[in-house]
Amino acid sequence: MRTFTIAIVIGAVLARLRGRLTLWPMASVLVLWPSFGGHWVEIWFLNWLGPRLSAAYGIQVVARIGVWFVGGTGLAICMALTAMALAGFRPRHWPAWWLGGLAFIGIELVVHLVLQLRGLPSFYNGRG
């Protein structure tokens, strides 16, 4: 439920910033990629890849950031393809492939900072 709420709220903010409330549903669908899809990228790391790697903190950190980068790149591509399919959006050129990965790393670091500040397991304390 949290990931859908995030998508709806951020979709509304993006539509408002563009000055067209009619964009709200489409913006929310596009934001579902990093919110809902990103949740599953994190779950995959925590439940599948992380336990199969060395428990050494450095290995876990590098692997997690790598997963965030690859996952973010894939999610950005899916967002672009969804915009093209549903809205007929045709970019003049594709942005650099690595931008989605870097953006997703930034999003995850902020999310985990909030978890850390709340005293919950996070990337920063090695418990989550």
**Residue (of 63, 61, 66, 72) closest to 104 by Cα position:** 72
pLDDT tens readout for residues 58-82: 999 999 999 999 999 999 999 989 9
Domain spans in the chain, listed from the N-terminal domain onward? 32-117
Answer whether residue 90 shows pLDDT above 80: no
Position 128 scores a pLDDT of: 83
Which DSSP symbol is given to 53? S
Q: Give the integer Cα–Cα distance in Å for 114 and 2.
A: 15
**pLDDT score recorded for residue 109:** 97
Q: What is the per-residue pLDDT across 103-128, written as a single tens digit (0 to 9) for each?
A: 999 999 999 999 999 999 999 998 88
